[in-house]
Amino acid sequence: MKLLITGAFSVNDEQLVQIQKLGYEVTFVQNEREPLNIDCSQFEAVICNGLFLYNDIQKFTALRFIQVTSAGLDRLPMEYIQEHHITVKNAKGVYSIPMAEWCIGQLLAVFKCTHFFYENQKNKQWKKNRALRELNGNTACVVGFGSVGSETAKRLSAFGVKILAVDCTLPQYNSYDEYFNIHELDSALAQSDIVILTLPLNKETYHLFNNDKLSKMKNGSILVNMSRGKIVDEQALLSALHNRTLSLAILDVFEQEPLEKSNPLWNTENIIITPHNSFVSEKNQERLFQVISENLQMLW
């Protein structure tokens, strides 16, 4: 079976040998963001991320399997894929732990005023801060209770945080205190001190957090988005922050990436920005290869 691997998966020599031993004839292309100068009709399987944003999937006439290196499927032409019965696998579980740890780290930094002490250390100033708070006793609403949401919830629970899980169906994970169907989202938002977004981007979730939903959030609450930027209407978010309806937004993803220097989010005081970096871990490559290897074996 002919397999195309793009640079989205940094396969090493040992892993490549293991894939070949499974019976795959591998072609590697480093840059998936350029038109491919090869015969795409030969490939039955592809490992990629944004390949089909830059290359027409219709040229892959033999394609029957796609493995993406991301958890989300929003970079794929899903309507075409479903019509042509192409199997798709994502990187489920690969990035859940680093993303959960990133979320906890950001929240602890806020509650314990880490930036205040960092600045004072740089300036050699001995100043106490009486505004430190506890995570313990807060309520967190995790919207999209898959692998990332569950791993985040487990860690928050250890700090004494009550977890409200919001999803379309009853989660397979039990790391929550109360479950709310997505249609009950407003009720969950009204009770929550922290709202964490870990849901996929699709037609239903695009700008889900608009003026209406943001207004339903508890006054002074914190919004954390580490899923996809387009789930949040950034103009509505700016209004909520300027009006102090929300006390803070912690954002790792944005409607347009990279975030342009002219974007007002940069200069908004009560926003913490990281550059779509929450998923990064030294263990990702090992986890990703394990997922890919298992899925490739299932094709035979």
The answer to whether 47 and 3 have CB atoms below 8 angstroms apart is yes
Question: How many whole angstroms from its chain centre is CA 49?
Answer: 14
Q: How far apart are alpha carbons 110 and 104 in whole angstroms?
A: 10
Q: How far apart are alpha carbons 89 and 72 in whole angstroms?
A: 10
Q: Is 257 among the catalytic positions?
A: yes
Catalytically annotated residue among 257, 260, 286, 294: 257
In the three-class reduction of DSSP (H, G, I as helix; E, B as strand; rest coil), residue 214 is classed as helix
Helix axes 284-298, 13-21, angle to 10 degrees: 10
- Taking phi over 0 as left and psi of -120 to 50 as alpha, with beta for the rest, 23 belongs to left
Among 1, 30, 29, 98, CA closest to 299: 1
Residue 65 has which token pair?
């399997």
The answer to whether 46 and 24 have CB atoms below 8 angstroms apart is no
Catalytically annotated residue among 33, 75, 276, 287: 276
In the DSSP assignment, the letter for residue 209 is B
Q: Within a 13 Å sphere around the CA of 233, how many CA atoms are in the beta-carbon half?
A: 13
195-225 per-residue burial string, b: 16 or more CB within 10 A, e: under 16: bbbbbbbeeebeebbeeebbbbbbeebbbbb
Q: Is 228 among the catalytic positions?
A: yes
Catalytically annotated residue among 32, 155, 228, 234: 228
Q: Is 151 among the catalytic positions?
A: no
In sequence order, the 6+-apart residues with CB closer than 8 A to the CB of 17 are: none
Phi–psi pair at 134, nearest 5 degrees: -105, 145
Catalytically active residues, by annotation: 228, 257, 276
